[in-house]
């Protein structure tokens, strides 16, 4: 054996043994726990409503990292289990808080918009302005419309975080082009009232839908009158989606 190799052989042997004994550079379970903790820490509801569980999870993840560096698989497994339990608790508390907040918001909406028929949709709160009919072929608000629309304007002024889409509808009398233009004019009329009542114009858009979404049959006068209407969609405060194109 060459003398130079004999000189380095012990060092190479020790290096090889150390490499065999060293733990892996990463641990998938630990990495997943760290990512989950980071995600939950960025959730404002969890931070506020589940701070104790979140702190416990952070401590467990930190201890798991130490156990991993110390090549202690038993301690690592135990701390990862504790972290999982604490994170599950934090996430459950966050969901509960969110559900309660949504229920409270719906209750407030019901109370404040009690003058209207409302229902929740994927887009937000749909307010049906029944009792605000239009004459056939007309887009002018009837006398007394202010009494019908003022509660909606008051609600919007006290909820400055809500964006609004006003949607005009028509009956099927006339051509589709005429009906679309007429429904747009009706939506514009309601929008203009809301703006004149103090709602900032950049929060209210208007869209004409023509006769595409009837509430009743257009075969009768009563049905056509019901279809000449305006609906208002009030977006939820958390929504960041852009409103459809409209005035």
229, 190 Cβ separation under 8 angstroms? no
Measured N-to-C along each axis, helices 73-112 and 28-41 cross at an angle, to the nearest 10 degrees, of: 30
Q: What pTM did the predictor assign?
A: 0.53
Quote the pLDDT of residue 240.
Answer: 41
The predicted-structure confidence for 117-140, as pLDDT tens digits, reads as follows 888 888 999 998 877 766 667 788
Question: What is the pLDDT, as a whole number, of residue 54?
Answer: 95
Which positions of the chain have pLDDT values less than 70?
Answer: 1-25, 105-106, 108-112, 133-136, 238-247
Which tens digits make up the pLDDT trace of 152-167?
Answer: 999 999 889 999 999 9
CA dist., res. 211 & res. 172, Å (int): 5
């Amino acid at each position: 054996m060459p003398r130079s190799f004999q000189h380095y052989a012990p060092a190479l042997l020790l290096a090889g043994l150390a490499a065999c004994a060293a733990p892996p550079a990463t641990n998938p379970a630990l990495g997943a726990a760290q990512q989950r903790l980071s995600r939950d820490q960025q959730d404002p509801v969890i931070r506020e409503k589940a701070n104790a569980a979140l702190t416990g999870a952070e401590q467990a993840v930190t201890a798991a990292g130490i156990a991993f560096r110390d090549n202690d698989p038993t301690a690592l497994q135990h701390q990862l289990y504790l972290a999982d339990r604490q994170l599950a608790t934090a996430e459950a508390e966050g969901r509960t808080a969110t559900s309660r907040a949504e229920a409270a918001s719906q209750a407030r909406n019901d109370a404040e918009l009690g003058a209207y028929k409302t229902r929740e949709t994927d887009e937000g709160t749909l307010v049906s302005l029944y009792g605000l009919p239009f004459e056939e072929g007309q887009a002018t608000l009837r006398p007394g419309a202010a009494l019908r629309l003022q509660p909606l304007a008051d609600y919007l002024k006290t909820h400055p975080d809500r964006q609004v889409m006003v949607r005009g509808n028509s009956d099927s009398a006339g051509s589709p082009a005429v009906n679309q233009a007429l429904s747009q004019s009706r939506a514009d009329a309601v929008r203009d009232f809301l703006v004149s009542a103090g709602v900032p114009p950049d929060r209210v858009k208007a869209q004409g839908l023509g006769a595409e979404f009837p509430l009743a049959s257009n075969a009768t006068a009563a049905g056509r009158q019901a279809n000449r209407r305006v609906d208002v969609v009030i977006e939820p405060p958390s929504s960041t989606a852009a409103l459809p194109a409209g005035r």
